[in-house]
Amino acid sequence: MLNLDNAALQDLLRQAPTSPRLRSHLLLHIGHDDQVQRLAIALRRGSYIRPHVHSMQWEMLVLLNGSLDVLFFDDTARVQERIRLAPDCTKVLQIPQGQVHGASVVADDTVVIEVKPGPYRANEFMDWAPAENSPEAASFVEWLAGAFP
């Protein structure tokens, strides 16, 4: 049995600031073949959630702590919608299959649960979004923080 108790959550939050990606993951499923993929993700401001799409699956985000803006894009990189996950507004967001999305972390110590149907499929990153750790990634993260429709 996998359990996200307070100790596991605190450990996840301690790992995020020391990670080069400014986030840490805790798998809540057994393996890539599980029919439901689920994980807890702790994020810090500045973490780059590169715009991507899931052509074969939907995705659900459940906010546990902090604040995160999810941005939806069209195929030409234009922001179509921005939804804030925060304690005082949206706490659960289901992203439809085929919808291009990324995110901007609003508050340190943000934690979300991500749920998708399995088996595991890698994110399909958008060509117009810079690769993680590329020289352009930092300025793109900055742009995401202020991008609106």
Contact 141, 48 (CB under 8 A): yes
pLDDT in tens, 16-68: 999 999 999 999 999 999 999 999 999 999 999 999 999 999 999 999 999 99
The pLDDT score that the predictor gives to residue 1 is: 60
pLDDT in tens, 66-120: 999 999 999 899 999 999 999 999 999 999 999 999 999 999 999 999 999 999 9
**CATH class of the region 6-146:** mainly beta
The phi and psi torsions of 16 (rounded to 5 degrees) equal -55, -50
More confident residue, 4 or 117: 117
